């Protein structure tokens, strides 16, 4: 097969990438794009051209790709990000990591313009406040709420992923309601390059490849918003479990379920945002010290008015057509369990069905079920998280056939014997490297108050 060809250009309101005769634009309000220095616009075009397409030679079994653009400054970052994500992709796709790595190493990336276009060194003017990548999941909502409480006056950006069947419909409606209640408008970024990992659209076999650089892409795409909104921070909802890893079945490869959300990679994204903003914009996570259960508890307990807008479900199937929680997936099951385990009524985040009945067993990996978040569910943390949450739910008198089964199984005794250890793991503040240093005191003060209110 011939080398794939990608053409890219700067347009009046963003950038566009052309592949197989179709244009895939990333578009902004004209005022947002014009606030971005011209050199930075060109550099964004060159770098996003590679970041959003470098998986496609592997998808189409092509020997490589030709880019009719400049060599991207961030190419080494993208290669590391991509390489570290391969074991997770291989696990999901059910193929050998060795073979996927071999294909990647043998892929040739050519750039017709060998020169590197550097972004402007012009800093954001009088930077203050924050921008939050808001998906309406618990992580981004808590990030927004904490940023608001400590006075960062966060702006909200939602990137539309066209491959998510019903997600946009629900989230745009949530955004309208959110704006009506709080007077905060959600900026929507139309990100047509997301279709380059929508494999039914491309007519290609479905694969996990293409999702590993998602957070890195978003950080680059937020740079124009940083210039137009005078932002000082880009904040992503990367919590403690994002760094969890495990060894594959053969014990040969370490699998990072979400490498681009890990704390170590967030530090690299921080470097990227500084490079593209004259060293004026920092990237971090306010919720890195927290495990999942504490994220869910803090959000619903301290900020119940914001928790009402939570949508963690991907709403990919017909079950999610009419409502933001499909009640038919492992995400809905997990969020329900996190709520009842921490003493929160699931109705406070919009869940309507009891996800702990026996017919929901297939959604819990603790009972041999499967998870949408396949690789994370295979980590020791993922397994212990469910164990501890079921234990707390049982102690709090939660109802459902799965609670009864859990209490009668050896799992309950295991959790009881490990109660202190599990509490320390899931209900403590962990060391963090991505919480901006100057914000740590205020952020940790909030978390300490909430941990003191949590009861087993």
Mean pLDDT of 29-38: 97
Would the pLDDT of 200 be above 80? yes
Going from the C-alpha of 397 to that of each of 4, 347, 384, 407, 427, the distances in angstroms are 58, 17, 20, 11, 20
Give the pLDDT of residue 164.
Answer: 67
Predicted local confidence at residue 372, as pLDDT? 58
Task: Judge whether residue 371 has pLDDT over 90.
Answer: no
Average pLDDT over residues 411-424: 97
| Residue 373 pLDDT > 70 | no
Instruction: Check pLDDT > 80 for residue 114.
Output: yes
In three-state form (DSSP H/G/I as H, E/B as E, the rest C), the secondary structure along the chain is CCCEEEEEEEECCEEEEEECCEEEEEECCHHHHHCCCHHHHHHHHHHHHHHCCCCHHHHCCCCEEEEEEECCCCHHHHHHHHHHHHHHHHHHHCCCHHHHHHHHHCCEEEEEECCCCCCCCCCCCCCEEEEEECCCCHHHHHHHHHHHHCCCCCEEEEEECCCCCCHHHHHHHHHHHHHHHHCCCEEEEEEHHHHHHCHHHHCCCCCCCCCCCHHHHHHHHCHHHHHHHCEEEEECCCCHHHHCCEECCCCCCEECCCHHHCHHHHHHHHHHHHHCCCCCCEEECCCCCCCHHHHHHHHHHHCHHHHCCCCCCCCCCHHHCCCCCCCCCHHHHHHHHHHHHCCCCHHHHCCCCCCCCHHHHHHCHHHCCCCCCHHHHCCHHHHHHHHHHHHHHHHCCCCCHHHHHHHCCHHHHHHHHCHHHHHHHHCCCCCCCCCCHHHHHHHHHHHHHHHHHCCC
124: closest CA among 1, 18, 4, 229? 229
Q: How confident is the model at residue 370 (pLDDT cuts 50, 70, 90)?
A: confident
pLDDT at 319: 72
Residue 235: what pLDDT?
98
pLDDT digits (tens, 9 = 90+) for 250-264: 999 999 999 999 999
Q: What is the pLDDT of residues 135-177, one digit of tens each?
A: 999 999 999 999 999 999 999 999 988 766 678 888 889 989 9
Cβ proximity of 241 and 292 under 8 Å: yes
At residue 203, the pLDDT reads 95
% residues pLDDT > 90 (the chain): 88
pLDDT tens readout for residues 210-239: 999 999 999 999 999 999 999 999 999 999
Predicted confidence band of residue 317 (pLDDT cuts 50, 70, 90): confident
pLDDT recorded at residue 38 = 98
For residue 320, name the pLDDT band (cuts at 50, 70, 90). Answer: confident
Query: Which of these ranges, 241-245, 313-317, 395-399, 444-448, has the smallest mean pLDDT?
Result: 313-317
Q: Is the pLDDT of residue 377 over 80?
A: no
Q: What is the pTM of this model?
A: 0.95
Report the percent of the chain where pLDDT is more than 70. Answer: 98
Mean model confidence pLDDT for the chain:
94
Task: Flag whether pLDDT at 131 surpasses 80.
Answer: yes
């Amino acid at each position: 097969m011939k080398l794939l060809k990608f053409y890219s250009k700067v347009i009046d309101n963003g950038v566009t990438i052309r592949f197989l005769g179709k244009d895939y634009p990333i578009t902004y309000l004209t005022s947002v794009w014009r606030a971005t220095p011209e050199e930075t616009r060109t550099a964004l075009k060159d770098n996003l051209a590679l970041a959003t397409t470098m998986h496609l030679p592997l998808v189409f079994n092509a020997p490589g790709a030709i880019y009719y653009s400049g060599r991207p400054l961030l190419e080494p970052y993208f290669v590391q990000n991509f390489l570290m994500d391969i074991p997770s992709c291989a696990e999901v796709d059910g193929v050998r990591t060795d073979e996927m790595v071999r294909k990647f190493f043998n892929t040739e990336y050519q750039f017709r313009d060998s020169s590197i276009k550097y972004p402007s060194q012009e800093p954001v003017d009088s930077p203050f406040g924050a921008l939050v990548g808001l998906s309406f999941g618990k992580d981004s909502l808590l990030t927004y709420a904490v940023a608001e409480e400590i006075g960062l006056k966060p702006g909200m950006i939602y990137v539309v992923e066209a491959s998510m069947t019903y997600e946009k419909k629900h989230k745009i409606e949530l955004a309208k309601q959110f704006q009506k209640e709080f007077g905060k408008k959600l900026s929507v970024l139309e990100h047509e390059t997301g279709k380059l990992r929508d494999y039914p659209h491309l007519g290609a076999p479905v694969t996990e490849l293409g999702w590993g650089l998602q957070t890195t892409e978003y950080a680059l795409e937020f740079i124009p918003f940083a210039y137009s909104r005078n932002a000082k921070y880009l904040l992503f909802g990367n919590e403690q479990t994002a760094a969890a890893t495990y060894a594959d079945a053969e014990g040969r490869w370490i699998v990072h379920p979400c490498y681009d959300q890990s704390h170590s990679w967030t530090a690299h994204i921080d470097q990227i945002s500084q490079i593209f903003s004259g060293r004026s914009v920092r990237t971090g996570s306010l919720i890195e010290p927290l495990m999942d259960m504490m994220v869910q508890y803090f959000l619903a307990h301290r900020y119940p008015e914001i928790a009402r807008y939570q949508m963690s479900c991907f709403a990919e199937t017909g079950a999610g057509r009419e409502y933001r929680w499909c009640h038919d997936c492992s995400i809905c099951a997990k969020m329900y369990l996190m709520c009842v385990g921490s003493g929160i009524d699931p109705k406070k985040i919009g869940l309507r069905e009891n996800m702990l009945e026996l017919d929901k067993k297939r959604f819990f990996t603790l009972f041999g079920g499967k998870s949408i978040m396949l690789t994370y569910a295979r980590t020791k943390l993922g397994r212990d998280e469910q164990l501890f949450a079921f234990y707390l739910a049982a102690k709090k008198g939660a109802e459902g056939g799965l609670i009864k089964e859990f209490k009668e199984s050896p799992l309950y005794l295991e959790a009881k014997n490990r109660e202190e250890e599990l509490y320390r793991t899931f209900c403590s503040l962990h060391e963090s490297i991505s919480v901006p240093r100057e914000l740590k005191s205020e952020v940790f003060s909030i978390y300490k108050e909430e941990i003191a209110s949590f009861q087993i």
